[in-house]
Chain A
């Protein structure tokens, strides 16, 4: 040891009179910088458990753990951090679909148990939960995916309001790939879809331009992709995680893109249905709507010989006879249906059960019967004048338009109803008025107020674009008749529809009156089922619920074991429920025929 080594420590003494440059008190806070990336925080009520944070984490520091029971749009899972792995890069924050995940600027945490460093932010309470500083996703245009959807080209109102040509043009290849690229593949949507379609999987197929794989995924759960790709009520899009801070994915249009881009002559090869087995069992299906077609499709795949009994000239039920051509062109319907029929499904047109053949006879001739007979009977408002011959039901007119029958179209029409069917008839009649008179003069009124209209928003917007007046919030009182035909509809203001206990109990203000002029009135306030094909004797064996609906179990089996029912008549009304019902019923019928018993209808 030299003398220098001995003396060097004392050089520090020369600073004894200077202010210290170090922190005076180590026990005082030394906060991180304003945007420091410290420990995680999560607003668990905003978080939907989509798991995108887990996916992006290169360090696998995040697990999705149960927090509560899942509901539509929320998996019930929440991210748990492992600080043995986290590198505080904040990619999880930047990609978060709901902006619920943030970082505090807290960076000191001392504990003796290493397991403490695994915790679920927002669930396991931490001292920094209310820390406002730290890293948040920067404001402005900083997103890992495009929050705006690729716009779909629609025909302009003036190009569509005189004809029934399809108004939505469909995505191009570039558009579809760009739109599919926005999907984070969380799969939150799948639970909300009544058919539980593999949505992230088929969107991935679009991204990879593998239409054949896409088609296979579609047909696993939905044998009507051309149809659903156009007119599905797309509940999936309402829960899309991307929709929390932008436009939800155009799930419906991407489905249509796949179906549109596979030629029908390749279907059997792609879907591996060229040689189907035959188990020599027979199933009768009443009605060729979505439920019946779906049941027939899945039963045919299982080897059953299916025969569909259809009361009209063509197959499709409400999809053909209810939905106007400008929304769902007939060749799209035919493409889906022709494929199902090509699987060996037999169809008898113009065949009415109860008239041409009885249910009891079907039971003798077949191993099981499925009825998807839908809701076809228009409901009447029952107001004075509604029995006039120029007062119509929307369902009747829509069917007649499809069938090519001549219907009455006057130059001044009033439609009663605020649902999608009301919009369908409004827009169909508007087109016909335009063709006949060169102008549109149609008022559509509903009990519901504007924001509660049951119709899809786009339907309301497009109806208005096409010149129809949508004037909601009125209760119809009577139809004024002069010289044997209507001249208009008397209405009063409707303030609310439901009472405090949620029961249907419209409250109206009789002092606020209005008179909508119209020489033709159309009622579209809902549809009822037509069970006239079921004999009175048979009805005694069927179990009915409190609201007159036939009771079925989870397999859509009624209290008569060989008789299954599904679709609008049981659940819905919409196409995708019908498809899901038909699929489940097919599995139920297979179990039943194989002798597997299940819980009774309730």
Chain B
């Protein structure tokens, strides 16, 4: 993997190289060099298979991190390309022309994180959250508990006790 990583450094100025395992390496790449790099890896370097696309919400830094993981079936190596994009009006160049499945990942990322991929077919259609009106639920500022409290009715008959209060009521009720 050393050669291919060296080549990526020269051609696409990748940084933060981490060779996680013998066959798996992570690199960081600029937003505007990411899709050209992935295209090159697919067409010229044998990384013909897409493993996944995923995102991380770095709320405090105001960034989303996109990770494209691609695979070379011949030498069984993986490269994961990390791309940081602004969290506000989050937009990324679409890669749907490279693999058929990319449009599905991008549709999911649009729904779950609110990251837009202009031009990606069907990117604005609901993925699994039909009729969703709240902020995208994978964003870290989405309050899962609050949402479920507001959305779902409580189950009848449920009752809980605070340990300290319960001990007081049983062990020293008059103090």
Q: Chain A residues near B161 (CB, 8 Å)?
A: 63-66, 75, 77
Query: Smallest distance from the beta carbon of A44 to chain B beta carbons, Å?
Result: 15
Q: Which residue of A54, A58, A118, A187 contacts B164 across the interface (Cβ within 8 Å)?
A: A187
Query: Smallest distance from the beta carbon of B38 to chain A beta carbons, Å?
Result: 33
Query: Smallest distance from the beta carbon of B45 to chain A beta carbons, Å?
Result: 36
A64–B165 Cα distance when bound, in Å, is: 12
Decide if B155 touches A82 in the complex (CB within 8 Å): yes
Q: Chain A residues near B160 (CB, 8 Å)?
A: 54, 62-65
Decide if A84 touches B172 in the complex (CB within 8 Å): no
The answer to whether the Cβ of B166 comes within 8 Å of any Cβ in the partner chain is yes
The answer to whether the Cβ of A188 comes within 8 Å of any Cβ in the partner chain is yes
A59 in contact with B148 given A191-B168, A196-B175 (CB within 8 Å): yes
Please report the total number of A residues contacting B with Cβ < 8 Å: 31
Query: How many A-B contacts if CB must be within 8 Å?
Result: 75
Decide if A191 touches B172 in the complex (CB within 8 Å): yes
The residue in chain B whose Cβ has the minimal distance to the Cβ of A199 is B164
1/0 contact string of B90-111 vs chain A (CB within 8 Å)? 0000000000000000000000
The answer to whether the Cβ of A29 comes within 8 Å of any Cβ in the partner chain is no
Decide if B171 touches A51 in the complex (CB within 8 Å): no
The answer to whether the Cβ of B76 comes within 8 Å of any Cβ in the partner chain is no
The residue in chain B whose Cβ has the minimal distance to the Cβ of A48 is B163
Query: Smallest distance from the beta carbon of B71 to chain A beta carbons, Å?
Result: 25
Decide if A75 touches B167 in the complex (CB within 8 Å): yes
Decide if A196 touches B170 in the complex (CB within 8 Å): no
A51 in contact with B162 given A70-B167, A70-B171, A76-B170 (CB within 8 Å): yes
Give the contact-size bracket for chain B: 20 to 34
Decide if B167 touches A188 in the complex (CB within 8 Å): yes
Q: Chain A residues near B167 (CB, 8 Å)?
A: 70, 75-76, 187-188, 190-191
A554–B173 Cα distance when bound, in Å, is: 12
A297–B171 Cα distance when bound, in Å, is: 25
Q: Chain B residues near A191 (CB, 8 Å)?
A: 164, 167-168, 171-172
- 4 residue pairs, one from A and one from B, having the closest CB atoms: A187-B164, A75-B163, A63-B160, A191-B167
The residues of B with any CB-CB pair to A shorter than 8 Å are 144-145, 148-149, 155, 157-168, 170-172, 174-175
Listed by A's residue number, 13 A-B pairs whose Cβ atoms lie within 8 Å are A51-B163, A60-B149, A64-B160, A64-B162, A64-B163, A65-B160, A75-B161, A75-B163, A75-B166, A75-B167, A77-B161, A77-B166, A187-B163
Identify 17 new A-B residue pairs, CB closer than 8 A, beyond the known A118-B158, A190-B167.
A50-B163, A54-B160, A58-B145, A59-B145, A65-B160, A65-B161, A66-B161, A66-B166, A70-B167, A75-B164, A75-B166, A76-B167, A82-B158, A118-B157, A188-B163, A188-B167, A191-B167
